[in-house]
Amino acid sequence: MSKPTPNQPQIPERTCQPDAGWRAASSTHYALFAETRGAIAVPGEIWTIIAKDATAEDELLLAVITGPPQDDAAAIVPLASETRYATEWDLTIPSAVLGYQAIAQVKLAGTVTPAQLDQRLSSLPAHLMEELKQLAYAAEQGASIPPAHLPVGPWVLSEIDERLQVRKAAAQALVPYLEPAYEDPSSEWLSFGSILLRHARAIGVELDSLIDPHWARKISLDELDLFEHIPARRLAALLQKLQIKWSERIRDGLYKLVLDRCNPVELVQGSALGRRRGQRTKRARRTKASLESRERAAGDYVAAVEKALEAKL
């Protein structure tokens, strides 16, 4: 978006293209809030952001301030007018705020320097800012899915969804403007629990109809110790029911989850690796496991799942 002209605000026509509406509405807001140049930004305000090494021809970024600006950084969430690319990590901003509908792209959040804050254009209503905080907090915590009942886009149910590619391209386009908060803007697909939950939704089944509801909730949030509670053969069966093909991403996601959550005893053999009922070994008193023992347990568990899947083919 080119820099708004304060003396010649334009009123968007109904027939204009999205970019034209964005440009015209920004010009109008620029004229209304021009006297705020140099003001201190506060959370909830919408500002134009200049590039780190800006020139007169550079486009401006529109973003919501999400944290009190510090001496060297201000936290922001970028806005975009292409609402058709919204995912479950993009909060819908109604047209009443800016004059056109937009989305707040939480997965593309980052920080800018105070010197990059150009002009304040508008502010989010309190309820929208609260919803944005909820969505941003879930992303920061690495949640598999966002909180329910937020005004967001449709879920991404496949790794080949066009919207993920658009998000990655947008992340690249934002490099001149901000320091990104997330190394991988498609990080939800690195979570094993999210993979299970998204595949379940994609084929139209509830995860808790395939596994104990208590375990289903915990596994979808990546909070379940699979090594302790779900035998490898049962997890293999669950992957088959969800039509999930074994891949490097599945293997890595599973290994990371087991490594993070398991706390094996000295004797790692037992029901987790596929022993039948009645053949479990006695458990020693549980103590904090070493990294080496957790890595060994995670590797053994993943190998057991892969072996169980091969046996079912």
Tell me the torsion sign for CA atoms 223, 225, 229, 233: positive
CA distance 98 to 72: 28
Average pLDDT over residues 275-286: 48
Report the share of the chain in percent with pLDDT over 70.
79
Q: Any idea which residue has 């149910």 for tokens?
A: 157
Tokens of 288: 């904090």
All structural domains of the chain, each given as residue ranges with its CATH number in brackets, are 18-141 (2.30.30.110), 191-312 (no CATH)
pTM (2 decimals)?
Answer: 0.71
Indicate if the pLDDT at residue 236 is higher than 60: yes
* Paired strand residues for 104: 79, 91
Does 201 or 90 have the greater pLDDT score? 90
Nearest-10 crossing angle of helices 213-220, 192-202: 120
Q: At 119, phi and psi to the nearest 5?
A: -140, 140
Q: Is the pLDDT of residue 290 over 50?
A: yes
Phi/psi for 110 (5° steps) reads: -175, -165
The pLDDT mean for the chain works out to 83
Q: Which amino acid is at 37?
A: R
175: Cβ contacts below 8 Å, ≥ 6 apart: none
Q: Specify burial of residue 28 (Cβ count, 10 A radius: 0-12, 13-18, 19+).
A: middle
pLDDT digits (tens, 9 = 90+) for 238-275: 999 999 999 998 999 999 999 999 876 544 444 455 54
**Nearest Cα to Cα of residue 236 among 301, 173, 155, 182:** 301
Round to whole Å and give the CA distance between 305 and 206.
22
